[in-house]
Structures are given as structure tokens and as C-alpha cells.
Amino acid sequence: MTEELFRDYWWLMFPIFGMGMGLWGMVSSERRSRDVMNVIRSYVEQGKEVPPELLRMAQSDWEPALHTPRSPRNSNLWSFFTFAALSAGFTVGWWYIRGEQWSFAFLVVAVTMGVLALGALIITIASRRS
């Protein structure tokens, strides 16, 4: 019973993991906001001036120590390599099973990832000019 359940629905671990990570992110964001508000409250109760960094953190829920902004150029280059690797992997998968009737699915995913890689490369090159 358990073996059949895992064999038939093994792929559900990925969306369940994604939902768990989303829930974890929401909980930690709420905890971070609550901690910032508690620090601001303690400043106000003591009659001290609240530092502007704390007010900015409360407004945008952004912590410089945890979230360092990345340059879009590096992000697009990372996307290029990721999509290129996925395209190569699905192309190899299609090559090994190309005799099967359903092998076109691998080819469709490989071409899609290749187009996305090409788009990320074009965006990276275009952003370097400006």
C-alpha cells in the first residue's frame, strides 16, 4: 500500500516542499516584522528618537543583513546558466528515449528551456550596454 502510494505520487513531494518553504518564509517575515515593531516600541517608550533604519525596515520589511540586493546582470547570467543546464539535461534525456512515443515531451521542455536561456543571455548582453 505505502509502496504504491509513493510510486504513484512521488512527485507531490516537490509542491509540498515548496508550500512548506513558502509557509516558513511567511512565518519568519511576520516574526521579523514583529521584532522590528517591538524595538521601535521600546524606543518610543523610552522617549528616544527612533533610528531611520528601523523606520525603513518597518515600512518595507527589508533587512540589509539578510537581503542583499543583487545586480540584475548577475541574476540574468545565473538564469542563463540554469536554463542552459536544464535544456542540456532534457536534450540528453530526449536523446536516450527518442524511440518512445512520449519522448516529444522531453524535446518540448528542452526547446522551451533553450529559448529561456537564449532570452536570459540576450537580456544580459543588452543590460551591459546601458
pLDDT, position 33: 86
Residue partners of 77: CB distance under 8 A and separation at least 6: 120, 124
pLDDT at residue 2 is higher than 80: no
Q: By C-alpha distance, which of 129, 120, 126 is closest to 86?
A: 120
Q: What are phi and psi of 105, to 5 degrees?
A: -65, -40
Q: Which of 62-80 are b and which e, b meaning 16 or more Cβ less than 10 Å from the residue's Cβ?
A: eeeeeeeeeeeeeebbebb
pLDDT of residue 63: 44
Threshold 0.75, pTM exceeds: no
**Mean pLDDT over the full length of the chain:** 84
Q: Which of 54-63, 76-85, 99-108 has the lowest mean pLDDT?
A: 54-63
Residue type, 17: F
- Phi first, then psi, for residue 47 (nearest 5°) are 80, 20
What ranges make up the beta strands (E) of the chain? none
